[in-house]
Amino acid sequence: MNDDATLSESALIDGEVVRELADIPAVEVISRAAVMLMSSAAEKLGLGEADPSASPHLDLDEARRVITALAGLVTASVEYLGPHAGPIREGLQSLQRAFRESSEYPDAPGAGPGEKYTGPVY
C-alpha cells in the first residue's frame, strides 16, 4: 500500500474512526487543544504524583509556557466555546494557582503564567 492510499483511508486509533479535520467542528478542535494543553501543564507541574515536588516531570519553565499558551487560546476563543468555556476557564485558573503554589518564589499577582491574558489569579 502506498503512502497516498494510506493517508486517504480512514484510520483507526483506539477503536475510534479518525475524522478529517474539515469534518470536526471548530469548538471540538479548540476544546481538544485546550484539554491537551491542560494535561501537559498538569504533568509539568507534577500533579500526576502524590508529591508533586518529587515528580520526575516537574518543570516550571515548561509549565509556564504551556499555561500561557492555554490562556491565550482560551481568551481568544471564549466566545466560541459556549458551555465549554466555564469548565475550561476553571481548569486554567486551577493550573495558574497550582503554578503559584509550586513556585519557590511566586510571581506577583498579574505576572503569573497567562495572567496577561486572563488577569490576576489569586
Q: Is 37 in contact with 69 (CB distance < 8 Å)?
A: yes
Tell me if 16 is assigned to some domain: no
- Is 62 domain-assigned? yes
Amino acid residing at 26: A
- Give the other-Cβ count within 10 Å of 75's Cβ: 15
With respect to residue 122, please indicate whether it lies within any of the assigned structural domains. no
Please give the model's pTM, rounded to 2 decimal places: 0.82
48 inside domain? yes
Q: Nearest CA to 98 among 50, 41, 54?
A: 41
Domain count within the chain: 1
- Hey, what's the cell of 29? 478542535
Tens digit of each residue's pLDDT, the chain (122 residues): 455 544 444 455 544 556 677 888 999 999 999 999 999 999 999 999 999 989 999 999 999 999 999 999 999 999 999 999 999 999 999 999 999 999 999 999 999 999 999 999 98
Beta bridge partners of 24: none
Domain of 92, in residue numbers: 37-117
Does 104 reside within a domain? yes
Strand intervals (E) in the chain: 12-13, 16-17
Q: Is 1 among the domain residues?
A: no
**Is 10 a domain residue?**
no
